Amino acid sequence: MSALREKFKKDIRPSLAEEFKLNNLLAVPKVVKVVVSIGVKEGAKDKSVIDKVKSQIEVVTGQTPRICRAKKSIAAFSLGKGSPIGLAVTLRGKRMYDFLERLFTIVLPRTRDFQGVPLSGFDGRGNYNLGVSELIVFPEADFAKFDRTRGLQITIVTDTDDDKKAESLFRKLGMPFQKL
């Protein structure tokens, strides 16, 4: 079992239950899933780009991504309905906790000019959105295989509707927020 998952079960969950005065441990906020997505606009014209990015995402997340396709045609962007425009991976369970642990302890501190993640990333429903500008900050990523630098979007979904509870959860999990 991942160290972060153990820490959540043994230390963080009881601490949050006490902080929010919850009698039932199942009512304590927790991370449900992590969605990692990347847009590949040139994938509509060149299918090999999708394959290259797919292998990069697989290395970073440890899971095969699904291809996201255009829902409708847009002539101005020369985009046809059903064209591949991105990739997404949904992480749950052990892979999710392993990914979060690497994200909080290794990846974010390696980001250039990192001052902490902003509190403005909350969506009002307890979920957090984070953009990583370069995929190469992940230690597993092989820079030689990249055709160009790409960014990705990370959405951390919780089971609470309260941003304050989610913020407290993320702080205890080790998410490095900006100093005020």
- Separation of alpha carbons 59 and 64, rounded Å: 9
Looking at beta carbons, which pairs linking 136-145 to residues 24 or more positions away fall under 8 Å? 137/107, 137/110, 137/111, 138/59, 138/60, 138/102, 138/107, 139/102, 139/106, 139/107, 139/110, 140/59, 140/60, 141/56, 141/59, 141/60, 142/59, 145/52, 145/55, 145/56
Angstrom distance (rounded) from CA 20 to CA 168: 10
Q: What is the dihedral of CA 126, 16, 102, 159, to 10 degrees?
A: -30
Q: Over its length of 180 residues, how does the chain's per-residue pLDDT go in tens digits?
A: 578 888 888 998 999 889 888 888 888 899 999 999 988 876 556 777 778 888 888 888 889 999 887 787 777 766 678 777 888 999 999 999 999 998 888 888 877 777 888 888 888 888 999 988 877 778 777 666 666 777 889 999 999 888 888 889 998 988 888 876
Kindly state the DSSP code that residue 142 receives in the 8-state scheme: -
Whole-number pLDDT of residue 146? 64
- In this predicted structure, what is the pLDDT of residue 144? 65
Question: What is the model's pLDDT at position 72?
Answer: 78
Q: What residue spans define the domains of the chain? A: 3-173
CATH 3.40.50.261 fits 3-173, yes or no: no
pLDDT of residue 1: 55
Q: How many residues does the chain have?
A: 180
pTM: 0.86
Please tell me the predicted confidence (pLDDT) of residue 45.
66
